[in-house]
Amino acid sequence: MGQSCAGVPGDIAWFDCQPGQNLFIQSGSYLASTANIETDTKFQGFKGMFTGESLFFIRAFTQAGSGRVYYNSYGAVKQIPIQPGQTVTVDTGHVVAFTDGVQYQVGKVGGMKSLMFGGEGLVMHFSGQEQFGSKLETSVALHPCWHHSSRLVTDLYSTIALRANHQRSPVTRERCRHVDSHSSSDASRCRKETWNASVNEENQEHLIESNAILLDVLRDQVGTLGVKRGCDMGTCGCCAVLIDGEPRLSCLCLAKEAQGTQITTVEGLADGHHLHPIQQCFAEAGGSQCGFCTPGFLIVSAALLDENPEPSRDEIKCAIEGNLCRCTGYQQIVDALKWLHQ
């Protein structure tokens, strides 16, 4: 029996291929397949926005009998059904795989600031009724997931995974927040404005640039260094904060969007010198090792327990799936949150 493992941390998904079907897999995502699966390379004819190289897909197919194809993504893989007459638009950096049962076009979405929304906005428009894998929590450059229905909207924080009961992690809900696309002139990007908010129950007033990112304001001007800078692309979750009680990714949130709000960072969880119960349980269960990702986990955990004081293990896993941890394997984090009620 052969064994294979993913080259990057994330989901391993599979597709059962029938004769006559083709599965196109993003180069680097193909993992393994059964003996009767054949593969070749199909060039899609456009440049990969986030690699700087031509973007290739591997075509997997079978000519005799069914076979299974395994593929992997950095982060989670979400299967999106495409209904007749429906069009879904996805940033090229998020596409993992799709079947030949969907039609697609490659297009460019203009008018978005490169720094905020990733490159020039090269996207793939899918239509049909098959499924394709949409890459979520990926690692290459600034790449929110673009999603289009009746109008262009930006999904700043791509969905991590969707449970059968449609529950989503707090960070996932934030990643599904749609905001209208807009462009900014050079003058507006340089404009200074006064920013007011309550951070950890202390009123803050700072002069910021109109396009300042909340993460930068919190770290550089407010001084809450517990808000960690990790990926700068909404991938790792370590910059999570609570804005009016709701988890948000501060690296992908304009500071002016938090104008006049109540912001809680990890520094605001403790009561003076007394740790928050969640922090205490993390320490006792070994839920924090290197500690870099811990603030983000603590924030989404606090939001979960505020909404659901006695979550099940599955609900905990759903809540934290938008946060990446390189050390613990996540089990200790789940244990820590369960210990609160034991």
Q: In percent, how much of the chain has pLDDT > 70?
A: 67
Measured CA to CA, the distance from residue 68 to residue 257 in angstroms comes to 45
Residue 258 has pLDDT above 60, yes or no: yes
Question: What value does the mean pLDDT take over residues 75-92?
Answer: 74
**What was the pLDDT predicted at 41?**
64
Q: Is 117 helix (H, G, I), strand (E, B) or coil?
A: helix
End-to-end Cα, the chain, rounded Å: 42
User: Quick one: which of 220, 271, 265 has its CA closest to 247?
Assistant: 265
Tens-place pLDDT, residues 191-219: 899 999 999 999 999 999 988 999 999 99
Question: What value does the mean pLDDT take over residues 13-37?
Answer: 85
Per the CB < 8 A criterion, the answer to whether 150 and 127 are in contact is: no
Domains of the chain: 12-155 (3.60.160.10), 191-342 (3.10.20.30)
**Which residue matches tokens 């209208």?**
180
Cα 23 to Cα 19, 37, 139: the distances in Å are 11, 11, 23
Tens-place pLDDT, residues 106-155: 776 554 333 233 334 567 777 775 444 544 332 221 222 322 222 222 22
pTM for this predicted structure: 0.51
